[in-house]
């Protein structure tokens, strides 16, 4: 009964979404105020019904109702409760429902936190979000109903893919989807502005915090996915350039370009059409990502067993969204006025270069991801693009980006003088060159050219941003700490957010450089009692024994890791067989540290108590995710800036007055 209620709730949500897409928009075009005011209640209603559907599915999982096909496929009565909940989005249908829930959630959030926006703008934004929601709800109802019944009812479910029975993966998809779907808000704001023909600094200021929040979620989602792949897959890698990873990276890259270009639009009213184009692209790439994951057109480690019908639906939806929004763009964008002018040396130019680099990299990633399809379409053979290619592209662009990242924020808007910039940054430059020399010493670089470059670039980011903070506080009263605190609680949040995020980039660069060039990985056969020495660590293998988990049996290895004579860690890697499904699973054991991880994963028992296994030494690998965490934190700090709130408060009075008159 409850699954049918869930199904019904989805249908009702679709009807509300159709109303949400229609009335407010029509109202905003004809000046019909009652129709416009329908936007908010409709958005709340859609959220309520999708939430009911979602709760129904959660209930089916918790109650292990195997008469529901999706539950039977993705759960098992032995599964711990926490994973029963995360199993809700462990498969295709449920993850779509999660997506729809978030879509409705963002819509309701826009409705709730836009009290101070002009009503026509709110109506249009919510209407556009309703259109996107229609697409997803229809997709679910037509091709992937999570509430489909199964008869006869199986006594036991097939179990959740063991790889997904993990805390990191329980929260990775929700974060990622929050990001993907969050870009729909930026998209909706952009389309609303195009429809209304009013693209101005106020528009940028409204859509900026939404875009940044979506970007923060996406950043966290990608970082979690990378972290999960690192410890769960047991390959010790943190990024594989897999099509699905690329699918999440592309919206992130364009989203990053977008938050920077929005800054220009807000401060200088320039780059307006470009910003709109980026907002459209970021969301379109999110959809493209979904298409790539769901349709199975590309070979990927993430691919679900797929269904061509679904692929076709998403492809159609994708064409409709991209085609429709670009057509609107082509029709309306020429009317957008030119923004403020700027000189060649100015912050605008710096941000323009930033945007070009990010977009160039996106295009390269897109090309590399789709190259196998292109080759096949032209009958050139079945190829795969190896990750060395992506690494090469990344290394070709990233250094310029990092170099620019030190200069850009120090540059003034509109016009700057080369000598002033040099005077500001020469200390940072000198220190970074010092770091370059230091890191070039063979003892540090290990003879690799990229190590000193990476470290010098990270140092450059650190020192240039410290310079920025010092410059900002130079004329303030009190000690630098007091000044900084006062500044932070005053209007400085977006500035400090930027500094934190950019320092995250520096940290990320150090992590990537060190782990790529200094990691050690070794496949070995070890007998109980054997030791192996690697990177100054001695791994002693004491043997393996059988252990039982709640829904699996495992062989558990026992290792002691020594540094010199000192024991630093005891590691218990496992090889698990889940009772629900036959496939074995490696649970790597990791001793995590700020400066290095040591990592053991079991391969196979090779007879006589011996095991084939893999040892890893991963220097600075945590810095990759900590760096991403800092970027996300920076975004969160920036969003909390007072100006987003005060600006709205200021705008409240006149808007209401105008609305009342209308």
Partner 1 sequence: MKARQKRLVLVGLALIGVAGATTLALSALQSNISYFFSPSQVMASEHPSDAVFRVGGVVVPETVARQADGLTVRFDVTDNAAVVPVSYTGILPDLFSEGQGVVAKGRIGTDGVFYAEEVLAKHDESYMPPEVADTLQTAHIDGIIEQTTESLKQ
* CB-nearer residue toward partner 1: 604 or 656: 604
Minimum CB distance to partner 1, residue 339 (Å):
12
**89 in Cβ contact with 173 (< 8 Å):** yes
Minimum CB distance to partner 1, residue 127 (Å):
35
* CB-nearer residue toward partner 1: 424 or 586: 586
* CB-nearer residue toward partner 1: 20 or 144: 144
CA distances from 223 to 219, 220, 501, 520, 601 (A): 6, 5, 14, 22, 22
Minimum CB distance to partner 1, residue 86 (Å):
16
Minimum CB distance to partner 1, residue 385 (Å):
6
Closest CA to 168 of 71, 238, 73: 238
**453 in Cβ contact with 399 (< 8 Å):** yes
Partners of 639 in beta bridges: none
Minimum CB distance to partner 1, residue 359 (Å):
10
The two tokens of residue 576 are 């698990």
Measured distance CA(71)–CA(61) in Å, rounded = 6
* CB-nearer residue toward partner 1: 299 or 567: 299
Task: Show Cβ contacts of residue 465 under 8 Å, excluding neighbours closer than 6 positions.
Answer: 406, 409, 499, 502, 503, 506
Measured distance CA(275)–CA(278) in Å, rounded = 5
Closest CA to 5 of 76, 71, 58, 44: 58
Minimum CB distance to partner 1, residue 521 (Å):
10
Positions that interact with partner 1 (CB under 8 A): 161, 163, 234, 296-297, 299, 301-305, 341, 343-344, 349, 352, 356, 360, 363-364, 367-368, 371, 375, 379-386, 388-389, 392-393, 396-397, 523-525, 581-586, 601, 603-604, 606-607, 610, 612-614
Q: Checking phi first, is residue 617 left (phi over 0); if not, alpha (psi -120 to 50) or beta?
A: beta
Measured distance CA(536)–CA(539) in Å, rounded = 10
In the chain the first and final C-alpha atoms are separated, in Å, by: 48
* CB-nearer residue toward partner 1: 81 or 523: 523
Closest CA to 82 of 170, 175, 177: 170
* CB-nearer residue toward partner 1: 388 or 418: 388
Q: Count the Cβ atoms, other than its own, within 10 Å of residue 305.
A: 7
Q: Which ranges in 594-641 belong to alpha helices (H)?
A: 621-639
Task: Show Cβ contacts of residue 413 under 8 Å, excluding neighbours closer than 6 positions.
Answer: 267, 268, 342, 346, 347, 348
* CB-nearer residue toward partner 1: 588 or 626: 588
* Sheet of 596-607, strands arranged across: 520-526, 610-619, 596-607, 589-591
Measured distance CA(588)–CA(228) in Å, rounded = 11
* CB-nearer residue toward partner 1: 155 or 607: 607
* CB-nearer residue toward partner 1: 62 or 397: 397
Minimum CB distance to partner 1, residue 575 (Å):
8
Minimum CB distance to partner 1, residue 519 (Å):
16
* CB-nearer residue toward partner 1: 10 or 254: 254
Minimum CB distance to partner 1, residue 163 (Å):
6
* CB-nearer residue toward partner 1: 331 or 367: 367
Residue carrying the six token digits 């792949």: 229
Minimum CB distance to partner 1, residue 390 (Å):
9
Minimum CB distance to partner 1, residue 36 (Å):
40
């Amino acid at each position: 009964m409850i699954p049918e209620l869930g199904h019904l709730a989805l249908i009702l949500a679709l009807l509300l979404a159709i109303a949400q897409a229609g009335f407010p928009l029509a109202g905003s075009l004809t000046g019909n105020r009652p129709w416009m005011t329908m936007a908010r209640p409709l958005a709340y209603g859609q959220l309520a019904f999708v939430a009911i559907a979602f709760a129904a599915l959660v209930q089916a999982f918790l109650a292990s109702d195997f008469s529901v096909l999706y539950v039977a496929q993705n759960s098992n009565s032995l599964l711990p409760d926490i994973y029963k909940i995360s199993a809700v989005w462990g498969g295709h249908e449920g993850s779509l429902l999660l997506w729809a829930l978030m879509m409705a959630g963002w819509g309701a959030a826009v409705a709730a936190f836009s009290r101070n926006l002009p009503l026509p703008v709110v109506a249009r934004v919510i209407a556009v979000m309703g259109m996107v929601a229609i697409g997803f709800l229809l997709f679910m109802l037509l091709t992937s109903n999570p509430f489909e019944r199964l008869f006869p009812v199986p006594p036991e479910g097939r179990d959740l893919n063991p790889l997904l029975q993990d805390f990191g993966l329980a929260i990775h998809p929700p974060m990622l989807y929050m990001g993907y779907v969050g870009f729909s808000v930026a998209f909706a704001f952009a389309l609303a502005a195009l429809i209304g023909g009013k693209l101005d600094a106020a528009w940028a200021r409204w859509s900026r915090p939404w875009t940044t929040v979506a970007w923060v979620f996406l950043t966290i989602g990608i970082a979690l996915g990378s972290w999960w792949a690192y410890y769960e897959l047991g390959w010790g890698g943190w990024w594989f350039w897999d099509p699905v990873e690329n699918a999440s990276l592309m919206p992130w890259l364009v989203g990053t370009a977008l938050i920077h270009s929005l800054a220009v639009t807000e401060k200088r009213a320039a780059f307006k059409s470009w910003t709109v184009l980026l907002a459209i692209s970021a969301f379109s790439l999110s959809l493209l990502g979904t298409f790539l994951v769901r349709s199975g057109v590309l070979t990927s480690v993430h691919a679900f067993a797929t269904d061509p019908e679904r692929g076709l639906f998403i492809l159609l939806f994708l064409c409709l969204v991209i085609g429709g929004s670009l057509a609107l763009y082509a029709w309306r964008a020429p009317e957008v006025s030119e923004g403020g002018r700027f000189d060649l040396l100015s912050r605008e130019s710096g941000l323009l270069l930033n945007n070009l680099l990010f977009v160039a990299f996106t295009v390269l990633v897109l090309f590399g991801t789709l190259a196998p399809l292109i080759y096949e379409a032209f009958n050139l053979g079945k190829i795969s693009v190896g990750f060395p290619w992506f690494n090469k592209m990344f290394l070709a662009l990233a250094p310029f980006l990092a170099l620019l990242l030190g200069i850009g924020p120090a540059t003034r808007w509109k016009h700057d003088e080369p000598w002033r910039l040099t005077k500001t940054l020469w200390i940072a430059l000198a220190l970074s060159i010092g770091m370059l020399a230091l890191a070039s010493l063979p003892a540090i670089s290990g003879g690799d050219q990229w190590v000193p470059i990476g470290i010098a670039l990270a140092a450059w980011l650190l020192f240039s941003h410290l310079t920025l903070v010092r410059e900002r506080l130079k004329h303030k009263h009190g000690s630098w700490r007091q000044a900084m605190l006062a500044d932070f609680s005053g209007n400085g949040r977006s500035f400090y957010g930027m500094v934190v995020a950019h320092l995250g980039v520096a940290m990320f660069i150090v992590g990537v450089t060190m782990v790529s060039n200094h990691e050690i990985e070794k496949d070995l056969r070890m007998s109980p009692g054997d030791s192996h020495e690697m990177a100054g660590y001695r791994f002693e293998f004491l043997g393996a024994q059988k252990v039982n988990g709640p829904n699996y049996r495992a062989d558990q290895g026992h290792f002691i890791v020594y540094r010199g004579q000192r024991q630093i860690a005891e590691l218990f890697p496992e090889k698990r067989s889940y009772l629900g499904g036959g496939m074995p699973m490696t649970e790597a054991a990791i001793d995590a540290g700020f400066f290095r991880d040591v990592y053991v994963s079991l391969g196979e028992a090779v007879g006589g108590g011996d095991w084939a296994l893999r040892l890893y030494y991963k220097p600075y690998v945590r810095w990759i995710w900590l760096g991403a965490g800092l970027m996300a934190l920076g975004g969160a700090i920036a969003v909390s800036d007072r100006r987003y709130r005060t600006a709205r408060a200021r705008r409240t009075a006149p808007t209401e007055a105008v609305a009342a008159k209308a």
